[in-house]
C-alpha cells in the first residue's frame, strides 16, 4: 500500500514571472537551430521551457554510458538567455535497450497481450526493474543538474497513465496481491469483502488472485473496484520513488508531475498531496464551442487540489492537436482567451506543447508556438503577442480565486460507477454527470472549486455532489456538519448506494445520507433510450415549469418534513417526488433523483442558489465568463468572451483594465474572443458579474 508522505513544506517554483513557454525538444534539432529558438523565444516573452521529457535514450545511449554534453549546452544557453527550466527527469519512456534486456517490464493489456516497444510509456508501473532504473536515472539527473541556477523545478515523468494506466501482467498480479493483503489482512477478509459467494468466487490461496483480465462474463465488481484503486496507488508509488530521490539530492527544489485535467484513472487528490505544485495539461476540443465550460471545471479541480494555491498550465495547444480523429485548429483569438481562462482560474503559467513544431514523428501535425512556417506562422504571431501581453498580468501572480460554490470530486465513486459492469444503466456516467452539474453553475455565473467528499467545506455556501455512488460514514458526517452549520448541499442521483466494499447499504440508497436528505429510494428507474419523462418543478409564477428527464429517474419517497420542489409529471412515477429539499440545522440538503437536461439543471440550481442567498444571472450566455482572483488588497476580475459574438458584462465596481491600462466602464463590452482583467480594491463580497442588454456598439 502506498505510503502517503504528505510533506507540509511547500517548495516554491524558482521563477519570478508568470511562466510562459512550452515543451522543448532540442534533440530533434541542430545546434544552429537552438540559437534561432532562443532568439525567437526571447522575442515571444518566453520565461520557461520543459525538457528533456522523452530523451532518456539520448542521455544514456548504452547502459551506464551517459551523454550529457548536448543537454549541458542547451541548459546553459537557455539560462544565459534568462529562460528558466522545468527540468524533466527523462523517465517518461524507457530506452529500447532496457526493454530488450528486461522484456518482463513491458505492460500487458486486459487480454494478456504484452505491449511492444515503438511508442512511449512502455512500462509496467509495478515492475521492480523499471522502478530501480527510474530511481537511477532520476538520481543521475539530480546529481548533474540539481545545482544549476536555471533550474525552476523538477518535472517527474510525463502524464502518468496517458497510455498505460493499468497493467495486467504477472508482476502487477503479485503487486495487486500484496496490496490486497495489506487492505484485507487475510483471505477470509478478502472473501468477505468481495462477496465471493456470488457466482462461486471463493479464493483458497492468494496465488489464485489475478489481475481482472477478460473473463467469460461480468467480473466480480469489488475486484474491479479494488483494481482501480490499486492501479492508481501503484502509479503513485512510482511517483513517490522519484520524489524520494529528488528530496534527498535536491531538498529545496519543487517537484511536480503534469496532470491530464479530470483524468479518470488516477486519484489526483493523492498525487497532489505528495508534490509541491499542481501542473496541468489542457486540450479543450476546438471543434466544441462549449469546451471552455469543461475547461473551467478542470481548472477548478487544479486550483483545489492544493487548497487554492496557484497551479501551472504546463501544456496546451497553440492551435490544432494531432491525436483526435479530426484536429480542428483554433480560430484567431482563441489561443489568447483560452490561455487567459487558465490564468483566471488560478494558473500562474501558460505553456504549450510544444515550442517548435516537429518535422517528423508522431506529432508533426500538432500545432506549436513556432509553426512550420517559422516566424511567419500565425501560431507564432499569436503566441508572441500573448507572451508580451502576459507581462501586464504580473500582479495576479500568486493571487487566489474566490468561489462560494464547490463540487465534490470523488474518484472512488467515479471508479465504482464506471468499472462495475452490472449497473441499473450505463447512461449515468460520473464524469458526464459532474460536467452537467458544473455547467449549470457556470452558466449562472459562479466559478466552481472542487473538494473531496470529506471536505473541508467551511469556505463554501453551496456544495454540490453530482454523484456519490460509494458513501461511508465519514462522508455522510462531513456533509451533515456542513449543512448544520448553514451550508446548502445538493446531492445527485444514485448516491449513497454502496459502501467501500461495493455492498448495498442496509435499506438501500441513499444509505448513510438517508436522514439528512429525508428520502428513500425504492427503485432506480432508468429510462429507455429515446424516451423522455417530465418533472413539474416549483410553481409556474416563480418562473419554474417543466423539466425534461432523459435517461435516469428514481422512485423515491420523502419524509413529511421534506419540501418537494419538483414532482414527476409523466410515466409510472407521475406524482412522486423528483427533487427535494430538507431544512436541517441552519442549512438545507437537496436531492435530485433524475438526470436532467441542461435547462432543467439551470432551473434547479437557480432555485437552490437563491435559497442559499447567492446571486444568479438572469440573463445567461454560456460564453460569458467572469472569475476573480484576489490578494488582500485587490480583486482581479477576469472577463472572458469565449464566443465569436460580442458580449457586454456589468461590473459591480469600477477599476483599471490591466490589459489596456484604461479605466473600465461599468459595462465592459467584449468583442468575439475578447477579454479584460479589471483590478479594483478588494470587495467584501466576491464581485458578481451579470450580463447586460446589447449596447449601441453591439447592435451596430
Ligand atoms: C500530451 C503529452 C505531450 C504531447 C501532447 C500533444 O498528452 O504530454 O507529450 O504528446 O499531449 O497534445
Give me the residues paired with residue 322 across strands.
none
Question: In angstroms, what is the span from residue 653 Cα to ligand 1's centroid?
Answer: 41
The continuous run of DSSP H or E covering 181 comes out as: helix 170-184
Residue 508: per-residue pLDDT:
98
Q: Is the pLDDT of residue 421 over 90?
A: no
- pLDDT for the residue 4: 47
Q: What angle do CA 119, 124, 125 make, to 5 degrees?
A: 115
Q: Is 472 a catalytic residue?
A: no
Write out 307-331 in H/E/C secondary structure: CCCCEEEEECCCCCCCCCCCCCCCC
pLDDT at 9: 85
Q: Which atom of ligand 1 has the smallest separation from the CA of 158?
A: 8
Q: Is 31 a catalytic residue?
A: no
Mutate to test the pocket of ligand 1, among 51, 279, 317, 323 (most ligand atoms within 8 A of CB): 323
Q: Compute φ and ψ for 136, nearest 5 degrees.
A: -65, -45
Query: What gap in Å lies between CA 438 and CA 598, rounded to an integer?
Result: 10
The per-residue pLDDT for 544 is 75
Cα separation, 384 vs 126, in Å, equals 43
How far apart are alpha carbons 210 and 202 in whole angstroms? Answer: 13
Q: Residues of the chain with pLDDT > 90: what percent?
A: 95
Active-site pick, 60, 242, 315, 389: 315
Q: How many CB atoms lie within 10 A of CB 590?
A: 27
Q: What are phi and psi of 429, to 5 degrees?
A: -110, 135
Q: Residue 265 — φ and ψ, nearest 5°? A: -80, -20
Give residue for cell 442496509: 506
Say whether pLDDT at 695 is over 90.
no
Q: What is the pLDDT of residue 3?
A: 45
Examine the pLDDT at 191 and tell me if it is beyond 80: yes
CB–CB of 67/58 below 8 Å? yes
Indicate the pLDDT class of residue 655, thresholds 50, 70 and 90. very high
Average the pLDDT over 92-100 and give the result.
97
Nearest CA residue ID for atom 5, ligand 1: 353
Residue 541 pLDDT grade (very low, low, confident, very high; cuts 50, 70, 90): low
Three-state SS annotation for 134-150: HHHHHHHHHHHHCCCCC
Single out the residue of 265, 273, 277, 364 nearest to residue 320, CA to CA. 364
Tell me if residue 468 falls in helix, strand or coil.
coil
Atom nearest to 260 CA in ligand 1: 7
Question: Is residue 128 predicted with pLDDT exceeding 60?
Answer: yes
Cell numbers describing residue 69 = 554534453
The whole-number average pLDDT for the span 223-252 is 98
Q: In angstroms, how far is CA 97 from the centroid of its own chain?
A: 35
Q: Of 181, 176, 94, 173, which Cα lies nearest the Cα of 131?
A: 94
What separation in Å is there between the alpha carbon of 316 and the centre of ligand 1? Answer: 9
pLDDT score, position 694: 58
Which of 120, 164, 281, 313 should be mutated for ligand 1, with most atoms under 8 A from CB?
281
Whether the pLDDT of residue 1 is over 60: the answer is: no
3-class SS letters over 414-448: HHHHHHCCCCCCCCCCHHHHHHHHHHHHHHCCCCE
Atom of ligand 1 nearest to the CA of 159: 8
Tell me the three state secondary structure of residue 348: strand
**619/617 Cα distance (integer angstroms):** 5
CB 675 within 8 A of CB 336: yes
Which H or E run contains 563?
strand 563-568
Pocket-forming residues, ligand 1, beta carbon under 6 Å: 158-159, 162, 281, 283, 315, 317, 321, 323, 353, 363, 366
> Is a pLDDT exceeding 80 seen at residue 674?
yes
pLDDT at 434 over 90: yes
690: which 3 cell numbers?
A: 451579470
DSSP E strand stretches across 219-310:
255-256, 258-259, 279-281
Average pLDDT along the chain: 96
CB of 465 closer than 8 Å to CB of 480 = no
Handedness of CA 666, 308, 333, 663 (dihedral sign): positive
End-to-end CA distance of the chain: 64
pLDDT at 542: 66
* Å from CA of 12 to ligand 1 middle: 25
Region at 674 (left for phi over 0; alpha for psi -120 to 50; beta for the rest):
beta
CA distance 210 to 409: 30
Q: What's the CA-to-centroid distance between 263 and ligand 1, angstroms?
A: 14
Q: What is the rounded distance in angstroms from the CA atom of residue 207 to the CA atom of residue 662?
A: 71
Question: Do the beta carbons of residue 535 and residue 546 sit within 8 Å?
Answer: yes
Q: For atom 9 of ligand 1, which residue has the closest CA?
A: 353
pTM beyond 0.85: the answer is yes
Q: Which of 38, 63, 48 is CA-nearest to residue 13?
A: 48
CB of 546 closer than 8 Å to CB of 536: yes
CA distance 405 to 403: 6
pLDDT at 7: 57
* DSSP letter assigned to residue 631: -
Tell me the average pLDDT across 566-588: 97
Measured in whole angstroms, how far is the alpha carbon of residue 544 from the centre of its chain?
A: 33
Residue keyed to cell 505544485: 277
- The predicted-structure confidence for 36-91, as pLDDT tens digits, reads as follows 999 999 999 999 999 999 999 999 999 999 999 999 999 999 999 999 999 999 99
Q: Give 289 Cα–ligand 1 centroid separation in angstroms.
A: 22
Backbone angles phi, psi at 520, to 5 degrees: -130, 140
**What is the distance in A from the centroid of ligand 1 to the CA of 383?**
18
Handedness of CA 252, 257, 261, 264 (dihedral sign): negative
Q: List pLDDT tens digits, range 10-46.
A: 899 999 999 999 999 999 999 999 999 999 999 999 9
* Gap from CA of 381 to ligand 1 centroid (Å): 22
> Above 70 in pLDDT, residue 374?
yes
pLDDT of 454 higher than 90: yes
> Which set of grid coordinates corresponds to residue 144?
548533474
Q: Would you call 340 exposed, middle or buried from its count of C-beta atoms within 10 A (0-12, 13-18, 19+)?
A: buried
In testing the pocket of ligand 1, which one of 23, 86, 121, 159 has its CB within 8 Å of the most ligand atoms? 159
* Dihedral of alpha carbons 98, 102, 104, 105, sign: negative
Pocket perturbation via mutation, ligand 1, pick of 353, 355, 369, 379 by most ligand atoms within 8 A of CB = 353
For the chain, how many residues are written? 700
Amino acid at each position: 500500500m502506498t505510503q502517503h508522505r504528505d510533506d507540509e513544506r511547500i517548495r516554491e517554483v524558482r521563477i519570478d514571472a508568470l511562466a510562459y513557454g512550452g515543451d522543448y525538444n532540442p534533440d530533434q534539432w541542430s545546434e544552429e537551430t537552438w540559437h534561432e529558438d532562443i532568439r525567437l523565444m526571447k522575442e515571444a516573452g518566453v520565461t520557461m521551457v520543459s525538457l528533456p521529457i522523452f530523451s532518456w535514450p539520448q542521455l544514456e545511449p548504452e547502459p551506464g554510458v551517459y551523454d550529457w554534453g548536448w543537454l549541458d549546452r542547451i541548459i546553459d544557453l537557455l539560462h544565459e538567455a534568462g529562460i528558466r527550466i522545468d527540468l524533466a527527469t527523462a523517465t517518461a519512456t524507457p530506452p529500447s535497450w532496457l526493454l530488450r534486456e528486461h522484456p518482463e517490464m513491458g505492460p500487458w493489456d486486459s487480454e494478456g497481450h504484452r505491449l511492444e516497444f515503438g511508442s512511449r510509456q512502455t512500462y509496467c508501473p509495478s515492475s521492480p526493474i523499471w522502478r530501480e532504473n527510474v530511481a537511477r536515472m532520476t538520481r543521475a539527473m539530480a546529481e548533474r543538474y540539481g545545482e544549476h541556477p536555471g533550474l525552476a523545478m523538477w518535472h517527474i515523468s510525463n502524464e502518468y497513465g496517458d497510455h498505460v494506466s493499468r497493467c495486467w501482467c504477472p508482476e502487477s498480479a503479485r503487486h495487486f496481491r500484496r496490496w490486497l493483503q495489506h487492505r484485507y489482512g487475510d483471505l477470509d477478509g478478502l472473501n468477505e469483502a468481495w462477496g465471493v459467494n456470488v457466482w462461486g468466487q471463493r479464493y483458497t490461496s492468494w496465488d489464485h488472485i489475478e489481475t481482472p483480465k477478460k473473463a467469460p462474463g461480468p467480473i466480480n465488481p469489488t475486484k474491479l473496484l479494488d483494481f482501480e484503486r490499486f492501479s492508481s496507488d501503484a502509479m503513485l508509488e512510482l511517483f513517490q520513488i522519484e520524489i524520494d530521490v529528488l528530496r534527498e539530492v535536491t531538498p529545496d527544489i519543487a517537484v511536480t508531475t503534469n496532470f491530464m485535467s479530470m483524468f479518470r484513472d488516477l486519484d489526483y487528490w493523492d498525487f497532489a498531496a505528495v508534490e509541491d505544485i499542481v501542473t496541468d495539461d489542457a486540450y479543450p476540443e476546438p471543434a466544441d464551442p462549449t469546451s471552455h465550460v469543461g475547461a473551467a471545471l478542470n481548472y477548478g479541480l487544479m486550483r483545489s487540489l492544493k487548497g487554492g494555491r496557484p497551479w501551472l498550465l504546463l501544456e496546451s495547444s497553440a492551435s490544432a492537436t494531432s491525436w483526435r480523429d479530426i484536429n480542428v485548429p483554433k480560430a484567431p483569438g482563441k489561443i489568447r482567451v483560452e490561455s487567459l481562462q487558465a490564468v483566471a482560474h488560478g494558473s500562474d503559467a501558460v505553456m504549450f506543447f510544444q515550442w517548435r513544431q516537429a518535422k517528423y514523428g508522431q506529432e508533426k501535425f500538432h500545432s506549436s508556438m513556432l509553426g512550420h512556417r517559422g516566424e511567419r506562422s500565425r501560431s507564432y504571431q499569436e503566441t508572441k503577442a500573448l507572451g508580451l501581453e502576459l507581462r501586464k498580468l504580473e500582479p495576479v501572480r500568486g493571487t487566489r480565486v474566490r468561489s462560494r460554490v464547490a463540487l465534490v470530486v470523488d474518484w472512488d465513486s467515479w471508479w465504482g460507477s464506471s468499472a462495475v459492469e452490472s449497473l441499473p444503466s450505463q447512461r449515468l456516467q460520473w464524469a458526464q454527470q459532474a460536467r452537467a452539474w458544473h455547467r449549470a453553475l457556470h452558466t449562472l455565473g459562479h466559478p466552481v472549486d472542487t473538494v473531496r467528499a470529506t471536505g473541508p467545506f467551511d469556505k463554501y455556501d453551496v456544495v454540490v455532489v453530482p454523484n456519490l455512488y460509494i458513501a461511508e460514514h465519514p462522508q455522510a458526517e462531513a456533509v451533515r456538519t456542513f449543512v448544520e452549520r448553514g451550508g446548502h448541499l445538493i446531492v445527485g442521483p444514485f448516491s449513497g448506494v454502496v459502501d467501500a466494499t461495493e455492498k448495498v447499504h442496509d435499506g438501500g440508497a441513499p444509505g448513510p445520507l438517508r436522514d439528512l436528505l429525508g428520502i428513500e429510494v425504492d427503485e432506480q428507474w432508468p429510462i429507455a433510450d429515446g424516451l423522455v419523462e417530465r418533472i413539474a418543478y416549483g410553481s409556474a409564477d416563480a418562473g419554474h415549469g417543466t423539466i425534461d428527464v432523459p435517461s435516469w429517474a428514481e422512485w423515491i419517497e420523502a419524509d413529511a418534513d421534506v419540501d418537494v420542489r419538483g414532482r414527476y409529471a409523466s410515466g409510472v412515477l407521475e406524482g412522486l417526488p423528483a427533487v427535494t429539499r430538507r431544512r436541517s440545522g441552519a442549512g438545507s440538503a437537496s436531492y435530485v433523483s433524475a438526470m436532467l437536461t441542461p435547462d432543467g439543471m439551470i432551473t434547479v440550481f437557480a432555485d437552490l442558489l437563491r435559497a442559499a442567498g447567492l446571486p444568479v444571472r438572469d440573463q445567461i450566455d454560456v460564453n460569458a465568463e467572469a472569475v476573480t482572483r484576489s490578494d488582500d488588497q485587490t480583486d482581479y476580475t477576469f472577463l472572458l468572451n469565449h464566443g465569436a459574438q460580442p458580449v457586454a458584462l456589468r461590473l459591480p465596481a469600477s477599476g483599471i483594465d490591466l490589459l489596456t491600462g484604461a479605466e473600465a466602464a461599468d459595462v465592459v463590452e467584449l468583442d468575439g474572443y475578447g477579454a479584460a482583467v479589471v483590478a479594483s480594491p478588494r470587495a467584501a463580497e466576491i464581485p458578481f458579474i451579470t450580463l447586460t442588454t446589447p449596447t449601441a456598439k453591439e447592435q451596430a
